[in-house]
């Protein structure tokens, strides 16, 4: 693959002034040569099985894309549970996630070049005609500059790249006259006003119709953006300049990259997550390779490959060395503080870092790529999907999974580099999990909670733009693709840009103007790309030996390097620093250690800061353990057969579904519907699960009334019309202050939107059977096979079966750091976002947490303590008559322990504000 070129030659340095036309040529050769070796750790996959899996990917894409076109187009995205389009402003706001939606048929544009990669050229031609006919880029809507760039501008450019390729081949697109390119140019000019800042960093949002700094624009007042948001523009903007000859786009993108490079922390050579676009001050000073920063690093390396400018490679290598020195703790990648890089900033990892092994393959650093990828795969095997965030002892931290493609991307690149059939088996697992757990009658639904198996009414455009592309290429042979993929480079959204752009319209100076202050030494930089003789030194079992020690890392052992320990702490036989989980207030030795922390040396001071961070996190963690986890309501009757899972709030009384067998039964509405008096239809609810409306009395009273009528369980449906777990935090139903031991049946709570799914199903099918449990159960294979669509048309003719909604829930987080592809990289509204492709701005309602509630991922060996990030998770515990009762108690201060640490505490709190 062309992206493999981390340097200029395969395995040996080349002169710094090599002709730039050679860059593209060597880029196309490097990873191709790497595919000649495969490790003997896994049995080769037959050509027939690879074709079967490739065809399965094609059918899955047809199911997703076909349902989008039938039920959602021209809306931006498909809501696969309710089988309709998501239109900005017509659905409850999801915060920054919605900044990707611009009323410009996002999913169609994002899918254009995927159609060609999957050899659907006729469908591609039809899709291009629809884009030209229907898409309007002049809408009065505020969108994310970052998301619009990578998805829409990148989608138009990728479509144009393959349209001219097909036209040249002579069969398709003969009528095409650069119409997509003209749309891309129009969009590029609409995005340019965002760069009207003194720093050159773009505003995070722009109005497509009115631009910036106008009352009607409703933007231009932001002060902060994420590093990935400002640093993930160069490929698309430079390609637009090279295609059109208008140099202004590449100039603006380069200026933003130059400014970020200049503002790196000079001692550590790291960058923070969030930066002030006017002053250049770091707002969030934690640094990692995941949400908020990820694609900034990716674009430095790929900009070198596409544009042939060695300054981009110099910058990437400088950052990469810092990453491997401070952030990489194999197999983990943990965030650190840019000014104190030996101090970890958090004890969990986000899902977006899954792209990094693929980038390491392009760099040629294969060993850590294999290690991190294997660790991630073990997490996936435990939870079926990669949670949005997971702790260093591999428990769920944020339970969502919006069908992210980053892990599939890294799997593809590792297979291309190694030829190891092990990675084909990994891809097969991904396909099986998507079909088993995410496929619904109207597409594929994001996972709201990987622990319960519940769905979210969401199918992001990146799922079609990236996931199917990487999975198909993983199993495809060269003859299965109608063009040479090695002639193109992937953007971060997997759009294809031709490598010949490196020699087209080169009017930009290749040597960056910032080099005068970088003080870089060319001898420090690698100028080579992956070569199998270096990656696998004559040993076909090389990759297998790297993976082997990690196969049980998730289940059976605590990984090394969970929390960084300074080497100086162990000199001369010194004891490891005191950890919060080991502290005992009655231990005189521990108290003495606390007194010394911060007084003796800088090492002691750092240990003290770390101890305080851990103590706060541990205190927060202990509060989380008092919370009840979400429950699952799974519709198991025809035509759902378990394919729809709704996440429900638990009750503090009644049968505990985590300790007892699930409850299964048909549902029936109680009369009176509010359940606040003796039921008048006991014969209707006897032996069934009663549906009750919230309101007018206590939850416990409702439970007693339906139990007395013979119900085997109860589902309370919110009476607040339009309420949804997508926008409201999960809560648990409280008792009535009396003894509730007499309540023996399980009780669950559904918001209005999710409850209406069951009510609509009753109206449609009369007999509806559900399963109440702590986690969704596997679907009935026989029934699943009967209902599984065999073709695109079959999958689209199930409209009667598609009135399904997800039931998901989220925990309202004070810290807004959960990564989300569409909001993570939109710049933050507040100063506490965690972002990157996508993390900087995630709405609290988009988060799912409470990792300790995961009964399937206990602490490893009973010793690995889950030290969560420093947030208070606020969830609502509710009585029907008082919806404001707090679910969990607030974290109590530990003044008695920290009484002598006032100065150190202030220093810890100021860590995010200092400038060293």
CA 308 vs CA 22, 27, 314, 800: distances in Å: 9, 11, 12, 54
Q: How many CA atoms lie within 13 A of 237 on its CB side?
A: 29
Tokens at 703, concatenated: 């439970």
H or E element at residue 902: helix 902-909
Query: For tokens 């953007």, what's the residue?
Result: 491
Main-chain phi, psi angles of 195, to 5 degrees: -85, 10
H or E element at residue 456: strand 454-456
Q: Distance (Å, rounded) from C-alpha 509 to C-alpha 513?
A: 8
Main-chain phi, psi angles of 270, to 5 degrees: -110, 160
Neighbours of 614 (CB within 10 A): 24
Nearest Cα residue to 231 out of 205, 251, 260, 206:
260
Whether the CB-CB separation of 538 and 277 falls below 8 Å is answered with: no
Q: Distance (Å, rounded) from C-alpha 27 to C-alpha 9?
A: 8
Instruction: List the Cα angle 744/778/431 in 5-degree steps.
Output: 150
Whether the CB-CB separation of 847 and 319 falls below 8 Å is answered with: no
Q: Distance (Å, rounded) from C-alpha 333 to C-alpha 525?
A: 23
Q: Tell me the sheet residues that pair with 398.
A: 389
Tokens at 463, concatenated: 């799922």
Secondary structure in 3-state letters for 229-277:
HHHCCHHHHHHHHHHHCCCHHHHHHHHHHHHHHHCCECCCCECCCEEEC
Q: Running DSSP on this structure, what letter comes out for residue 663?
A: E
> What one-character-per-residue DSSP string does 600-624 give?
S-HHHHHHHHHHHHHHHHHHHHHHH
Residues annotated as catalytic (active site), given as ranges: 147, 294, 388, 406
Query: For tokens 């999957």, what's the residue?
Result: 118
H or E element at residue 140: none
Q: Distance (Å, rounded) from C-alpha 363 to C-alpha 373?
A: 15
């Amino acid at each position: 693959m062309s992206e493999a070129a981390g340097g200029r030659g395969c395995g040996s340095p080349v002169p710094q002034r090599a002709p730039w036309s050679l860059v593209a040529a060597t880029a196309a050769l490097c990873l191709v040569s790497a595919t000649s070796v495969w490790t003997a750790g896994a049995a080769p996959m037959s050509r027939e099985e690879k074709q079967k899996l490739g065809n399965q990917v094609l059918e899955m894409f047809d199911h997703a894309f076909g349902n989008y076109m039938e039920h959602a187009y021209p809306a931006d995205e498909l809501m696969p549970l309710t089988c309709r389009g998501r239109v900005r402003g017509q659905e409850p706001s999801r915060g920054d996630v919605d900044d990707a939606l611009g009323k410009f048929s996002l999913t169609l544009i994002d899918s254009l070049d995927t159609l060609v990669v999957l050899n659907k050229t006729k469908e591609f031609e039809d899709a291009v005609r629809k884009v030209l006919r229907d898409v309007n880029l002049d809408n009065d809507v505020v969108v994310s500059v970052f998301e619009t760039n990578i998805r829409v501008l990148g989608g138009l450019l990728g479509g144009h790249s393959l349209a001219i390729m097909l036209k040249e081949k002579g069969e398709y697109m003969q009528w095409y006259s650069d119409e997509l390119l003209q749309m891309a140019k129009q969009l590029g000019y609409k995005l340019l006003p965002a760069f009207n800042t003194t720093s050159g960093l773009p505003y995070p949002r722009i109005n497509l119709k009115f631009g910036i700094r106008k009352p009607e624009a409703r933007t231009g007042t932001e002060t902060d953006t994420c590093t990935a948001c400002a640093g993930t523009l160069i490929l698309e903007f430079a390609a637009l300049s090279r295609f059109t000859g208008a140099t202004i786009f590449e100039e603006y993108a380069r200026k933003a990259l130059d400014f970020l490079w200049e503002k790196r922390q000079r001692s550590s050579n790291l960058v923070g997550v969030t930066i002030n676009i006017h002053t250049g001050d770091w707002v969030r000073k934690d640094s990692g390779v995941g949400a908020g920063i990820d694609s900034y690093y990716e674009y430095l390396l790929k900009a070198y490959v596409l544009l042939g400018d060695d300054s981009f490679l110099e910058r990437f290598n400088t950052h990469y060395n810092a990453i491997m020195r401070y952030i990489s703790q194999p197999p983990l990648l943990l965030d650190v503080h840019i000014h104190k890089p030996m101090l970890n900033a958090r004890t969990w990892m986000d899902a977006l870092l899954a792209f990094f092994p693929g980038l390491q393959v392009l760099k040629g650093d294969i060993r850590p790529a294999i290690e991190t990828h294997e660790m991630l795969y073990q997490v996936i095997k435990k939870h079926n999907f990669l949670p949005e965030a997971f702790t260093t002892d591999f428990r769920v931290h944020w339970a969502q999974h919006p069908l992210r493609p980053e892990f599939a991307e890294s799997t593809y690149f590792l297979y291309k580099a190694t030829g190891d059939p092990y990675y084909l088996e990994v891809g097969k697992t991904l396909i099986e999990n998507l079909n088993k757990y995410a496929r619904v009658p109207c597409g594929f639904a994001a996972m709201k909670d990987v622990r319960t198996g519940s769905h979210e009414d969401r199918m992001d455009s990146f799922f079609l733009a990236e996931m199917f592309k990487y999975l198909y290429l993983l199993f495809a042979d060269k003859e299965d693709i109608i063009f040479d993929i090695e002639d193109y480079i992937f953007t971060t959204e997997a759009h294809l840009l031709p490598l010949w752009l490196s020699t087209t319209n080169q009017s930009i100076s290749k040597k960056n103007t910032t080099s005068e202050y970088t003080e870089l030494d060319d001898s420090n930089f690698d100028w080579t790309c992956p070569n199998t003789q270096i990656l696998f030194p004559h040993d076909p079992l090389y990759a297998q030996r790297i993976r082997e020690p990690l196969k049980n890392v998730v289940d059976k052992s605590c990984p090394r390097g969970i929390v960084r320990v300074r080497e100086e702490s162990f000199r001369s036989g010194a004891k490891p620093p005191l950890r919060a989980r080991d502290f005992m207030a009655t231990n005189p030795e521990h108290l003495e250690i606390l007194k010394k922390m911060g007084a003796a040396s800088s090492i002691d001071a750092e240990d003290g800061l770390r101890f305080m961070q851990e103590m706060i996190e541990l205190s927060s963690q202990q509060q989380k353990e008092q919370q009840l986890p979400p429950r699952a309501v799974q519709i198991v009757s025809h035509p759902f057969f378990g394919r729809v899972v709704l996440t429900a709030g638990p009750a503090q009384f009644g049968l505990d579904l985590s300790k007892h067998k699930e409850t299964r039964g048909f549902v029936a509405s109680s009369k009176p519907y509010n359940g606040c008096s003796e039921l008048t239809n006991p014969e209707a609810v006897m032996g069934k699960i009663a549906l009750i409306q919230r309101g007018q009395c206590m939850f416990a009273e409702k439970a007693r009334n339906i139990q007395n009528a013979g119900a085997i369980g109860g589902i309370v449906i919110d009476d607040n019309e339009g309420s949804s777990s997508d926008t409201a935090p999960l809560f648990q139903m409280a008792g009535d202050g009396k003894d509730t031991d007499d309540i023996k049946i399980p009780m669950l709570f559904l918001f209005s939107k999710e409850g209406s799914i069951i009510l609509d199903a009753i109206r449609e099918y009369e007999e509806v059977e559900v399963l109440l449990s702590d986690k969704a159960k596997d679907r009935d294979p026989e029934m699943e096979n009967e209902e599984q669509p065999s073709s695109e048309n079959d999958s689209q003719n199930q409209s009667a079966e598609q009135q399904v909604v997800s039931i998901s829930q989220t925990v309202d987080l004070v810290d807004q750091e959960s990564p989300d592809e569409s909001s993570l990289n939109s710049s933050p509204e507040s100063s506490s976002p965690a972002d990157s492709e996508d993390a900087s701005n995630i709405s609290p309602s988009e988060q799912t947490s409470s990792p300790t509630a995961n009964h399937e991922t206990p602490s490893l060996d009973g010793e690995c303590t889950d030290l969560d990030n420093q947030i208070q998770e606020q969830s609502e515990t509710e009585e029907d008559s008082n919806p404001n009762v707090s679910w969990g108690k607030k974290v109590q201060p530990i003044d008695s322990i920290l009484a002598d640490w006032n100065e150190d505490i202030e220093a810890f709190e100021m860590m995010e504000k200092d400038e060293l």
